[in-house]
Chains A and B, each alone.
Chain A
Amino acid sequence: MNYFPDEVIEHVFDFVTSHKDRNAISLVCKSWYKIERYSRQKVFIGNCYAINPERLLRRFPCLKSLTLKGKPHFADFNLVPHEWGGFVLPWIEALARSRVGLEELRLKRMVVTDESLELLSRSFVNFKSLVLVSCEGFTTDGLASIAANCRHLRDLDLQENEIDDHRGQWLSCFPDTCTTLVTLNFACLEGETNLVALERLVARSPNLKSLKLNRAVPLDALARLMVCAPQIVDLGVGSYENDPDSESYMKLKAAVKKCTSLRSLSGFLEAAPHCLSAFHPICHNLTSLNLSYAAEIHGSHLIKLIQHCKKLQRLWILDSIGDKGLEVVASTCKELQELRVFPSDLLGGGNTAVTEEGLVAISAGCPKLHSILYFCQQMTNAALVTVAKNCPNFIRFRLCILEPNKPDHVTSQPLDEGFGAIVKACKSLRRLSLSGLLTDQVFLYIGMYANQLEMLSIAFAGDTDKGMLYVLNGCKKMKKLEIRDSPFGDTALLADVSKYETMRSLWMSSCEVTLSGCKKLAQKAPWLNVEIINENDNNRMEENGHEGRQKVDKLYLYRTVVGTRMDAPPFVWIL
């Protein structure tokens, strides 16, 4: 079979970097499996409970980079209690014990403690890169350990984490000898920042490419920082309030002009809109713009800025931009690939929100668009059909109509036909989120046409179990299915148990599945962890006389090779 020596094959494998491809390679034959596992440096684990660190290390002893994901996606929306799980400490302990040469750790939705950060910082001499996304459980003391002990730290990237800010001096914990920083993102920290320590750190980091500041870094400090780091590529502005005639603002304008490598801009928490013009000179270079936290910037200032951004590929904004604003985006940003429009008013319908018109305009004006997340007030089937025609290249399509169950606002029909058009036209669609009034019909379309679909999010949709069955039977590549408040029950859940072996996980909350249905499933599929999350009742489910037929509030099931996890809290019942 193999006409080449192992070293040659290994060298060939070095060019194969995607996880999917490497996984495929390892399945070809025993010899390739062996070569692949010893040469694999980067491992991605989509569900930290699908495997344990010991088995991971047995298979990949030369591991350098590990990505771990913990809580299910709906945890973002407060549907999963904080103590559910996803603890990283056992992983770090095991990695430390095995003396593997860990250089990079990327975590998403995991519980990280100061203890684990301290252990991490002390256990791996060559540790270079820490990326934490939507994690919680740690404080700035943990960051201080990382700063102090990781001699070769390159990336410290904290995205949207809940960090207890002890207002300590973690930034001053970076030794003077630390000059290797490439990424420093602490935008999610709430507290005061030692500006002097920050400036010194930036000044001695010639390789710094990405700097994202928190709220506590004011305009004058920003100006000084930009002067120290004109090579910056990705900038997250902290607080941006100031008098546009002030000296700091003048300094900032001058500094911005020198940042000719700047390609990505974000932040602007508490922004004074009239100061945005300082950035106009570099807008023509921007490929990424995130103004989704800049609630203060309205209409005309936003549009003025965007009109300069002709090369924009990624845009995240608030719906206060309005349909008219989106029309400007459509006519200006011809290179746009990804758009996210977030709701600015989470409580009620706003007047400046966007509608189907904005979406249609974008689809018509931006031929390269492949990813969209769109929160809006209303939608029509006609608009979705048009969007599908204009943009058949969608990979990710997430539409959230703010009011649950809202029909087509012109015809009062369900939105089945509109979403049907999207899945039919977009043959590469991998991720889809539905909203609005939807019947089983939309799921029939999804099952028939969404051949590449890997992740589907359903809320307040469907009529009967048929809906869920269409999806389970039709979508061969389904990996993550998450459903809330929809009338799918045991029949759909139990129809094809082997399907779940091909999927990473299934989430169902406020649906019609019963305890007996879940128990049956757990019996038929011992290689699944079937978790019932019942915060309110604890063990009441079992004691109650109606046991079998009681509806399960939250069900989360996932395939695993290591059986029931030992760290589940009392309100999680693993069948």
Chain B
Amino acid sequence: MEKEGLGLEITELRLGLPGRDVAEKMMMKKRAFTEMNMTSSGSNSDQCESGVVSSGGDVEKVNDSPAAKSQVVGWPPVCSYRRKNSCKEASTTKVGLGYVKVSMDGVPYLRKMDLGSSQGYDDLAFALDKLFGFRGIGVALKDGDNCEYVTIYEDKDGDWMLAGDVPWGMFIESCKRLRIMKRSDASGFGLQPRGVDE
């Protein structure tokens, strides 16, 4: 078997972390892989179109990276119609981890943010601040009563809930979208400053 002594790393198409020229490595690997194993095919293998022959020595076994995987054209072999329709599902109706729409009163466009990238309400506050460039939101989440804004979210059942009541884990499981609402619009709805009932 030609593979003896080479080690499986060379023959496997492994994907590195993003930022390691993974796309280039994938393309190189296609040719490099074949060059490693070419014995008597008779074709002139040093005329590789990409111009680079990877020695294979620096191929690392790293965890699969989603960004890199999607760069192999047409793989996995799922037809483009199905791809389009499954991606759509993910972005519009996926609950919990993943991107949710964030709207803010007075801002004419919505933003999208990845809830999964925040570790807790503090993180979320910071992220929301960054999104809309307005310090007030973070304060709203933490302190509640002093702020012009209120952070609410739509949960799995379609109800609008005040952010911060439930544990973080429960929150991200059920949050479908976020809205930063003017407190004045919510007046008369019995919004107590946090800490009063505890």
Q: Which residues of A are at the interface with B, using a C-beta cutoff of 8 A?
A: 74, 76-79, 134, 160-162, 188, 243, 269-270, 292-293, 295-296, 342-344, 346-349, 375, 400, 402-407, 412, 433, 437, 439, 457, 459-460, 463-465, 484-492, 510, 512, 514, 517, 546, 549-551
A404 near B78: Cβ-Cβ < 8 Å: no
Contact of A512 among B13, B38, B65, B73 (CB under 8 A): B38
Say yes or no: A406-B64 contact (C-beta < 8 A), given A77-B75, A346-B76, A514-B43: no
* Set of chain B residues within 8 Å of A188, measured between Cβ atoms: 81
Contact indicator A76/B79 (Cβ below 8 Å) = yes
Residues of the A chain whose Cβ atoms lie less than 8 Å from the Cβ of B67: 347
Q: Which A residues touch B3, using CB under 8 A? A: 439
* Cβ-neighbour of A346 out of B8, B49, B70 (below 8 A): B70
> A199 to nearest B CB, angstroms?
25
Q: Provide the B1-27 mask, 1 if CB < 8 A to any CB of A, else 0.
A: 111000010011100000000000000
Q: Among A76, A347, A404, A514, point to the contact of B70 (Cβ < 8 A).
A: A347
- Asked if B187 is an interface residue, CB under 8 A from chain A, the answer is no
**Would you give 5 A-B contacts (Cβ < 8 Å), ordered by A?**
A77-B80, A346-B83, A347-B69, A460-B13, A489-B42
Q: Is the CB of B78 within 8 A of A296?
A: no
Shortest C-beta distance, B189 to chain A (Å), equals 23
Which of B2, B12, B30, B66 contacts A485 (CB under 8 A)?
B30
**Residues from chain B with Cβ under 8 Å of A342 in the complex:** 78, 82
> Do A293 and B83 have beta carbons less than 8 Å apart?
no
- The answer to whether B70 and A77 touch across the interface, beta carbons within 8 angstroms, is no
Closest CB in chain A relative to B177 CB, distance in Å: 15
Knowing A293-B85, A296-B93, the reply to whether A348 touches B66 (Cβ < 8 A) is yes
Within the assembled complex, what's the spacing in Å between the Cα atoms of A484 and B72? 12
Q: Roughly how many angstroms separate A402 CA and B42 CA in the complex, as a whole number? A: 31
The answer to whether B34 and A512 have CB atoms under 8 Å apart is yes
Given A77-B80, A78-B73, A510-B30 in contact, is the A406-B12 Cβ separation under 8 Å? yes
Given contacts A348-B69, A487-B41, A550-B49, 12 further A-B contacts (CB under 8 A): A77-B74, A269-B89, A270-B89, A270-B93, A293-B82, A293-B89, A348-B66, A400-B77, A437-B8, A489-B42, A490-B43, A491-B43
**B192 at interface by CB-CB < 8 Å:** no
Residue in chain A with minimal CB distance to B156: A272
Q: Is the CB of B2 within 8 A of A463?
A: yes
Chain B residues, Cβ within 8 Å of A492: 41
Residues from chain A with Cβ under 8 Å of B81 in the complex: 134, 160-162, 188
Interface check B184, CB cutoff 8 A: no
Decide if B74 touches A74 in the complex (CB within 8 Å): yes
With CB as the reference atom, state the residue of chain B lying closest to A187: B85
Contacts A269-B89, A347-B69, A464-B37 given; indicate if A549 touches B78 (C-beta within 8 A). Answer: no
> Please, which residues of chain A bring their CB within 8 A of the CB of B76?
343, 346, 375, 400, 402
Q: Which of B65, B66, B92 has the most CB of A within 10 A?
A: B66
Cα–Cα, bound, A492→B34 (Å): 15
Q: Which of B45, B76, B87 has the most CB of A within 10 A?
A: B76
Which residues in A have their C-beta under 8 angstroms from that of B8? 407, 412, 437
Residue of B nearest to A241 (CB): B93
CA of A45 to CA of B11 in the docked complex: distance in angstroms? 40
Identify the closest chain A residue to B45 (Cβ).
Answer: A512
Most B Cβ at <10 Å: residue of A348, A406, A457:
A348
How does the 8 Å CB contact mask read for B52-65 relative to A, with 1 for contact and 0 for none? 00000000000011
Q: CB within 8 A of A79: which of B70, B73, B90? A: B73
Residue in contact with B11 in the complex, picked from A74, A349, A437, A486, CB distance below 8 Å: A437
Whether B49 lies near A459 (C-beta < 8 A) is: no
Give the CA-CA distance A327 to B158 in the complex, in Å. Answer: 34
- Give the residue of B13, B39, B65, B85 whose beta carbon is less than 8 angstroms from that of A405: B13
Bound state CA distance, A76 and B43, in angstroms? 30
| Alpha-carbon distance between A293 and B86 when the two chains are bound, in angstroms | 7
Give the docked Cα–Cα distance between A514 and B45 (Å): 11
B47 contacts A546, C-beta separation under 8 Å: yes
- Whose C-beta in chain B lies nearest to the C-beta of A343? B76
For B72, the closest partner residue in chain A by CB is A404
**Which are the 4 A-B pairs with shortest beta-carbon distances?**
A77-B74, A348-B66, A487-B34, A295-B89
A346-B78, A404-B72 given; A551·B49 CB < 8 A: yes
* Inter-subunit contact B43/A489 (CB<8 Å): yes
CB-based nearest A residue for B80:
A78
Q: With the chains together, A463 CA to B89 CA distance in Å?
A: 39
**Residues of B contacting A134 in the complex (Cβ-Cβ under 8 angstroms):** 79, 81
A506 to B49: give the CA distance in the assembly, Å.
Answer: 22
Within 8 Å CB of B90, what residues of A?
295
Q: Do A464 and B80 have beta carbons less than 8 Å apart?
A: no
Given A162-B81, A269-B85, also A405-B12 (CB < 8 A): yes
- CB-nearest residue of chain B to A292: B82
Instruction: Give the Cβ gap from A277 to chain B, nearest Cβ, in Å.
Output: 17
Closest to A160 in B: B81
Choose among B30, B47, B74 the residue that contacts A549 (Cβ–Cβ < 8 A). Answer: B47
Give complex CA distance A514, B87 in Å: 37
Using Cβ atoms and an 8 Å threshold, which residues of chain B touch A514?
A: 43-44
In the bound complex, CA of A402 to CA of B76 (Å): 6
Inter-chain contacts of A160 with B (CB < 8 A): 79, 81-82
Most buried by A among B70, B81, B87, B158: B81
Q: Are A491 and B70 in contact (CB under 8 A)?
A: no
Q: Is the CB of B85 within 8 A of A490?
A: no
Q: Chain A residues with Cβ under 8 A from B75's Cβ?
A: 77, 404, 459
A464 contacts B74, CB within 8 Å? no
The listed residue (B39, B45, B49, B86) touching A344 by CB distance below 8 A is B86
Q: CB-nearest residue of chain B relative to A457?
A: B77
A121–B77 Cα distance when bound, in Å, is 35
B37 to A346, Cβ gap below 8 A? no
Measured between beta carbons, the chain A residues less than 8 angstroms from B42 are 465, 489-491
- For residue B158, which residues in chain A have a CB less than 8 angstroms away from its CB? 243
Q: In the bound complex, do residue B86 and residue A464 qualify as a contact, i.e. CB atoms below 8 Å apart?
A: no
Most buried by A among B34, B65, B66: B34
Shortest C-beta distance, A206 to chain B (Å), equals 32
Query: Is there contact, CB below 8 Å, between B65 and A348?
Result: yes
Q: Are A464 and B38 in contact, with the CB atoms below 8 A?
A: yes
Chain A residues positioned under 8 Å from B92 (CB to CB): 270
Most buried by A among B76, B77, B86: B77
Inter-chain contacts of B2 with A (CB < 8 A): 463
- Which residue of chain B has the shortest Cβ distance to A404 in the bound complex? B13
| CB contact under 8 A between A551 and B47, given known A295-B89, A437-B11, A463-B39 | yes
CA of A433 to CA of B78, assembled, Å: 13
Residue contact B40 to A549, C-beta cutoff 8 Å = no
Q: Which residue of B lies closest to A133 (CB)?
A: B81
A161 to B76, CA, bound (A): 20
Q: Is the CB of A403 within 8 A of B64?
A: yes
Q: Which of B38, B79, B158 has the most CB of A within 10 A?
A: B79
**Assembly CA distance A214 to B82 (angstroms):** 14
Q: Which residue of B lies closest to A537 (CB)?
A: B49
- Provide the bound-state CA to CA distance between A510 and B31, in Å: 8
